Amino acid sequence: NAGVTQTPKFQVLKTGQSMTLQCAQDMNHNSMYWYRQDPGMGLRLIYYSASEGTTDKGEVPNGYNVSRLNKREFSLRLESAAPSQTSVYFCASSGGSLGRGMNTEAFFGQGTRLTVV
Protein backbone atom coordinates (compact mmCIF):
# COMPACT_ATOMS: atom_id res chain seq x y z
CA ASN A 1 0.00 0.00 0.00
CA ALA A 2 1.93 3.02 -1.29
CA GLY A 3 -0.47 5.75 -0.07
CA VAL A 4 0.14 9.02 -1.94
CA THR A 5 2.86 8.96 -4.60
CA GLN A 6 4.31 12.08 -6.18
CA THR A 7 6.63 12.38 -9.15
CA PRO A 8 9.19 13.74 -9.65
CA LYS A 9 10.92 14.21 -6.30
CA PHE A 10 13.20 16.97 -7.54
CA GLN A 11 13.04 19.28 -10.54
CA VAL A 12 14.92 22.31 -11.79
CA LEU A 13 13.22 24.49 -14.40
CA LYS A 14 14.22 27.55 -16.28
CA THR A 15 11.94 30.58 -16.12
CA GLY A 16 9.18 30.20 -18.69
CA GLN A 17 9.36 26.41 -18.95
CA SER A 18 6.31 24.30 -18.24
CA MET A 19 5.93 21.08 -16.32
CA THR A 20 3.37 18.82 -14.70
CA LEU A 21 3.64 17.39 -11.22
CA GLN A 22 1.97 14.02 -10.90
CA CYS A 23 0.13 12.64 -7.90
CA ALA A 24 -1.63 9.32 -7.42
CA GLN A 25 -3.26 7.73 -4.40
CA ASP A 26 -4.28 4.12 -3.89
CA MET A 27 -6.56 4.58 -0.87
CA ASN A 28 -9.77 5.13 -2.86
CA HIS A 29 -10.03 8.63 -1.43
CA ASN A 30 -12.55 11.11 -2.77
CA SER A 31 -10.68 14.35 -2.11
CA MET A 32 -7.23 15.39 -3.29
CA TYR A 33 -5.17 18.52 -2.68
CA TRP A 34 -2.09 20.40 -3.82
CA TYR A 35 -0.16 22.51 -1.32
CA ARG A 36 3.03 24.48 -1.53
CA GLN A 37 5.36 24.85 1.44
CA ASP A 38 7.58 27.88 1.82
CA PRO A 39 9.75 28.82 4.83
CA GLY A 40 7.78 30.72 7.45
CA MET A 41 4.52 30.42 5.53
CA GLY A 42 3.40 26.91 6.37
CA LEU A 43 1.38 24.99 3.81
CA ARG A 44 -0.80 26.99 1.47
CA LEU A 45 -3.53 25.37 -0.56
CA ILE A 46 -3.16 25.80 -4.32
CA TYR A 47 -6.06 23.73 -5.66
CA TYR A 48 -8.21 20.93 -4.43
CA SER A 49 -10.61 18.39 -5.84
CA ALA A 50 -13.49 17.40 -3.60
CA SER A 51 -14.44 14.51 -5.83
CA GLU A 52 -13.70 13.06 -9.24
CA GLY A 53 -14.69 15.57 -11.88
CA THR A 54 -14.50 18.69 -9.71
CA THR A 55 -11.68 21.12 -8.94
CA ASP A 56 -11.60 24.35 -6.97
CA LYS A 57 -9.13 27.11 -6.28
CA GLY A 58 -7.40 27.37 -2.94
CA GLU A 59 -5.48 30.29 -1.42
CA VAL A 60 -2.74 30.65 -4.05
CA PRO A 61 -3.97 29.34 -7.45
CA ASN A 62 -2.37 31.92 -9.74
CA GLY A 63 0.12 30.43 -12.19
CA TYR A 64 -1.17 26.88 -11.74
CA ASN A 65 -3.70 24.57 -13.32
CA VAL A 66 -4.91 21.17 -12.20
CA SER A 67 -6.55 18.10 -13.66
CA ARG A 68 -8.40 15.41 -11.76
CA LEU A 69 -7.76 12.70 -14.31
CA ASN A 70 -9.69 10.02 -12.44
CA LYS A 71 -10.34 9.13 -8.82
CA ARG A 72 -6.70 8.12 -8.28
CA GLU A 73 -4.80 10.90 -10.02
CA PHE A 74 -4.57 14.67 -9.55
CA SER A 75 -1.93 16.59 -11.49
CA LEU A 76 -0.61 20.14 -11.06
CA ARG A 77 0.66 22.05 -14.08
CA LEU A 78 2.88 25.10 -14.22
CA GLU A 79 2.37 26.62 -17.67
CA SER A 80 5.17 29.20 -17.49
CA ALA A 81 7.34 28.73 -14.43
CA ALA A 82 8.52 31.77 -12.46
CA PRO A 83 11.18 32.01 -9.71
CA SER A 84 8.37 32.77 -7.23
CA GLN A 85 7.15 29.22 -7.79
CA THR A 86 10.30 27.78 -6.29
CA SER A 87 8.90 25.73 -3.44
CA VAL A 88 8.21 22.27 -2.09
CA TYR A 89 4.93 20.92 -3.41
CA PHE A 90 2.88 18.38 -1.51
CA CYS A 91 -0.05 16.38 -2.74
CA ALA A 92 -2.54 15.04 -0.21
CA SER A 93 -5.71 12.99 -0.21
CA SER A 94 -8.51 12.34 2.22
CA GLY A 95 -11.41 9.95 2.35
CA GLY A 96 -14.06 12.32 3.61
CA SER A 97 -16.44 14.39 1.56
CA LEU A 98 -19.66 16.23 2.14
CA GLY A 99 -22.44 13.70 2.44
CA ARG A 100 -19.99 10.91 3.16
CA GLY A 101 -18.57 12.09 6.45
CA MET A 102 -16.10 14.81 7.32
CA ASN A 103 -14.14 13.06 10.05
CA THR A 104 -10.95 12.08 8.34
CA GLU A 105 -7.40 13.28 8.11
CA ALA A 106 -5.32 14.14 5.06
CA PHE A 107 -2.52 11.84 3.95
CA PHE A 108 0.51 13.42 2.33
CA GLY A 109 2.94 12.42 -0.39
CA GLN A 110 6.71 12.75 -0.07
CA GLY A 111 6.82 16.10 -1.83
CA THR A 112 8.42 17.58 -4.96
CA ARG A 113 11.20 20.08 -4.50
CA LEU A 114 10.99 22.50 -7.43
CA THR A 115 13.56 25.16 -8.23
CA VAL A 116 12.93 27.73 -10.94
CA VAL A 117 16.04 29.58 -12.11
Partner 1 sequence: AQSVSQHNHHVILSEAASLELGCNYSYGGTVNLFWYVQYPGQHLQLLLKYFSGDPLVKGIKGFEAEFIKSKFSFNLRKPSVQWSDTAEYFCAVRTSGTYKYIFGTGTRLKVLA
In the three-class reduction of DSSP (H, G, I as helix; E, B as strand; rest coil), residue 7 is classed as: strand
Q: Which is nearer to partner 1, 19 or 43 (CB)?
A: 43
Gyration radius (Cα) of the chain, Å? 14
Which of 2, 14, 40, 99 contacts partner 1 by CB under 8 A?
40
Which of 31, 66, 76, 116 contacts partner 1 by CB under 8 A?
31
**What DSSP line would sit under 18-84, residue for residue?**
-EEEEEEESS--SEEEEEEEETTTEEEEEEEESSTT--EE-S--TTEEEEE-SSSBEEEEESS--GG
Q: Which is nearer to partner 1, 11 or 97 (CB)?
A: 97
Q: Which amino acid is at 31?
A: S
Which of 66, 85, 90, 114 contacts partner 1 by CB under 8 A?
90
Instruction: For residue 45, state whether it binds partner 1 (rule: CB under 8 A).
Output: yes
Instruction: For residue 22, state whether it binds partner 1 (rule: CB under 8 A).
Output: no
Interaction site with partner 1 (CB under 8 A) = 31, 33, 35, 40-45, 48, 50, 58, 90, 92, 94, 96-98, 102-111
